[in-house]
């Protein structure tokens, strides 16, 4: 009897999860993200771009509601890709009703719910957002954003102890890179036989930036001067 | 022989014109440092302009530091230092002949080979002192003026970044490599000096050879790339930069790595072979030379 009740209860719970409308799901995630008014996070930034060889840099990430975001180099040299200010998804979901939600089913491999967000504002920088959501955990695991000016970029998030705030422990930001070339007359390169000639391998390649957060200070206040 | 070497070194450093090279180097380096102190951000911005399309505000502030300033100075200067080296090495034998003291020197109780060894060693010593002067001003003064941070090295198709504690040993090796390159130039000027009775000829000829070879090295014409360029000593003199080309895994710089050490060693070996060749010709000719002045 207990077993039957457990099965019925499980089915009921899964039905409840399944039954979430796209709007409900987005609202739940939005509420979770809105718990964060601001944060300061320390992190390690790894650049993986075809024309850059760089060590892992220490960065500090600042966020303040509704859409202020800044990644600051703590030491060393780091390269922050264009559009990376949108790694905080609270901005995309902040204004409920400012977008149409289209349910695109589930990703077969992962079972993540796919929702497409179409901004209603014609001047919005983001033209289309595709969110891959873990319904149970109410967390966005993946996002693909198509922007007006900075092409398409993808975000992949892993969560840990800050999952209750919807804040990831690790973000992988993938973006399109333009080709990089300096005149040889400027660089006076030494030809050690290693460097390849420019070709398709350098053009329109995907670059990746990984930020691994080590600690968040949530809702402790962030000075506006940081974002200037 | 040591006594003779001391005399030769004394003669070099007694001449006021020897210090022209030191003054010129100091002037150039300080001018570059002043320019970068006041307009460095624009210069770095220009250097990294190719990245502007893919990245937010580039970290020009942190990139402009003592290590990069030294790299820029060496990039500009190590093409011109050979000219200053030629001023002394080209004068070593021809200057004596011009003054009429070569015959007197040759009559001393030392062999002609010993005399040449001493003369060339003195020229090489001058070259090394000049290089140390460059290192003091370009590296240490730049560190003092601009501080230290990670080093970003722009290449034609890449941008290599290394941590600040991974840089000094690279400079030490780069200066050692530059010494091999400059001694090769000194050997060329010295060889030409043996053939001449007037120091202007070997100095100007050395400068002309360096200019022509440097142009050929920098020209991107496939015909020269495959035929002449690999054999020019000026091509291999740029090998010091190889110490700043790093290996990376998934874009992450491997600390302490050198992209192609074999190529650098090959370049060093080629420069040493050139030096030996120039000196061999000088010794061979000087042994048979009829010294009339």
Model confidence at A111, in pLDDT bands (50, 70, 90)? confident
Residue B241 — φ and ψ, nearest 5°? -70, -25
Chosen for mutation from B44, B47, B54, B267 (greatest number of chain A CBs closer than 10 Å) is B54
User: B159 and A178: CB-CB below 8 Å?
Assistant: no
Q: What is the largest CA-CA distance in chain A?
A: 83
Domain A20-219 adopts which CATH fold?
outer membrane lipoprotein receptor (LolB), chain A (2.50.20)
Query: What's the pLDDT at A197?
Result: 52
Closest CA–CA distance from residue A117 to any residue of chain B (Å): 25
Do B150 and A55 count as a contact with CB atoms less than 8 A apart?
yes
pLDDT: is A65 or B246 the higher one? B246
- B63 CB neighbours in chain A (<8 A) are 77
| pLDDT (0 to 100) of residue A15 | 47
Instruction: Name the 3-class secondary structure at B227.
Output: coil
Q: Do A182 and B154 touch (CB under 8 A)?
A: yes
Q: What is the per-residue pLDDT for A2?
A: 59
B165 touching A (Cβ < 8 Å): no
Per-residue pLDDT at A143 exceeds 50: yes
Q: ipTM for the complex?
A: 0.81
Domain range annotation of chain B: 2-288
Q: Is the pLDDT of residue A58 over 80?
A: yes
DSSP-based three-state secondary structure for B163: coil
- Chain B, window 84-143: residues with a beta carbon less than 8 angstroms from a chain A beta carbon: none
pLDDT at A18: 53
DSSP calls for B192-214: HHHH-SSTHHHHHHHHHHHHHHH
Nearest-CB residue to A80 (from B56, B152, B156): B56
Residue with tokens 């020209």: B219
CB contact under 8 A, A79 and B150: no
In this predicted model, what pLDDT tens digit does every residue of A175-221 receive, in sequence order?
888 777 777 767 778 877 665 554 445 555 788 889 999 889 988 88
Q: Mean pLDDT score of chain A, rounded to an integer? A: 79
- On the question of pLDDT at A19 being above 60, the answer is no
- d(C-alpha B174, C-alpha B267), whole Å: 13
Q: What is the model's pLDDT at position A10?
A: 56
Instruction: Find the distance separating the first CA and the last CA of chain A, reported in whole Å.
Output: 64
Q: What is the 3-state secondary structure (H, E, C) of chain A?
A: CHHHHHHHHHHHHHHHHHCCCHHHHHHHHHHHHHCCCEEEEEEEEEEECCCEEECCEEEEEEEECCCEEEEEEEECCCCCECCHHHHCCHHHHHCCCCEEEEEEEECCCCCCEEEEEEECCCCCCEEEEEEEEECCCCEEEEEEEEECCCCEEEEEEEECCCHHHCCEEEEEEEEECCCCCCCHHHHCCCCCCCCCCCCCCCCCCEEEEEEEEEEEEECCCCCHHHHC
**Per-residue pLDDT in tens (0 to 9) along chain B, 293 residues:** 788 889 888 988 888 888 888 999 999 999 999 999 998 888 888 877 777 777 877 777 788 999 999 999 998 887 788 888 998 888 888 888 888 887 777 777 778 888 899 999 999 999 999 999 999 999 999 999 999 999 999 888 888 999 999 999 999 999 999 999 999 999 999 999 999 888 899 999 999 999 999 888 888 788 887 788 888 999 999 999 999 999 999 889 999 999 999 999 999 999 999 999 999 999 999 888 777 66
Q: Considering the entire predicted model, what is its pTM?
A: 0.85
CA gap B243, B171 in Å, rounded? 8
Write the pLDDT tens digit of every residue in B236-263: 999 999 999 999 998 899 999 999 999 9
């Amino acid at each position: 009897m207990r077993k039957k009740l457990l099965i019925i209860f499980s089915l009921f719970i899964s039905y409840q999860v399944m039954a979430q409308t796209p709007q409900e799901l987005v609202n739940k995630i939005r509420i979770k993200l809105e718990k964060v008014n601001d944060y300061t996070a320390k992190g390690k930034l790894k650049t993986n771009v075809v024309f850059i060889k760089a060590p892992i840099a220490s960065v500090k990430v600042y966020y303040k509601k509704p859409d202020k975001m800044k990644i600051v180099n703590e030491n060393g040299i780091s390269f922050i890709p264009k559009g990376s200010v949108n790694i905080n998804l609270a901005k995309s979901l902040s204004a409920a009703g400012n977008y149409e939600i289209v349910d695109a089913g589930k990703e077969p491999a992962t079972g993540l719910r796919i929702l497409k967000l179409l901004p209603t504002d014609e001047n919005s920088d983001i033209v289309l957002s595709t969110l891959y959501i873990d319904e149970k955990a109410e967390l966005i695991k993946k996002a693909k954003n198509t922007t007006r000016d900075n092409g398409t970029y993808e975000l992949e998030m892993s969560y840990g102890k800050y999952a209750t705030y919807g804040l990831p422990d690790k973000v992988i930001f993938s973006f399109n890179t333009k080709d990089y070339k300096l005149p040889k007359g400027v660089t006076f390169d030494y030809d050690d036989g290693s460097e390849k000639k420019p070709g398709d391998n350098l053009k329109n390649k995907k670059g990746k930036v990984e930020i691994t957060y080590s600690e968040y200070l949530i809702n402790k206040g962030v000075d506006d001067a940081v974002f200037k | 022989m040591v006594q003779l070497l001391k005399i030769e070194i004394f003669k070099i450093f007694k001449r006021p014109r020897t210090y022209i090279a030191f003054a010129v180097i100091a002037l150039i380096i300080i001018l570059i440092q002043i320019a970068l102190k006041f307009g460095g951000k624009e210069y770095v911005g220009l250097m990294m302009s190719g990245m502007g399309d893919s990245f937010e505000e580039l970290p020009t502030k942190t990139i402009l530091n003592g290590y990069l300033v030294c790299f820029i100075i060496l990039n500009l200067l190590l093409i011109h230092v050979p000219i200053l080296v030629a001023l002394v090495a080209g004068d070593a034998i021809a200057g004596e002949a011009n003054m009429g003291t070569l015959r007197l020197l040759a009559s001393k109780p030392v062999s002609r080979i010993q005399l040449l060894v001493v003369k060339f060693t003195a020229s090489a010593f001058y070259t090394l002192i000049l290089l140390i002067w460059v290192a003091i001003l370009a590296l240490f003064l730049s560190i003092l003026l601009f501080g230290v941070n990670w080093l970003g090295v722009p290449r034609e198709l890449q941008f290599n970044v290394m941590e600040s504690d991974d840089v000094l040993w690279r400079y030490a090796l780069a200066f050692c490599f530059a010494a091999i390159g400059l001694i090769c130039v000194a050997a060329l000027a010295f060889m030409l000096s043996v053939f001449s009775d007037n120091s202007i000829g070997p100095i100007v000829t050395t400068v002309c050879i360096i200019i022509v070879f440097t142009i050929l090295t920098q020209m991107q014409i496939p015909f020269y790339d495959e035929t002449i360029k690999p054999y020019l000593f000026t091509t291999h003199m740029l090998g010091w930069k190889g110490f700043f080309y790093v290996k990376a895994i998934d874009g992450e710089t491997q600390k302490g790595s050198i992209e192609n050490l074999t190529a650098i060693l090959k370049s060093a070996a080629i420069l040493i072979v050139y030096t030996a060749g120039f000196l061999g010709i000088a010794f061979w000719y000087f042994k048979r030379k009829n010294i009339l002045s």
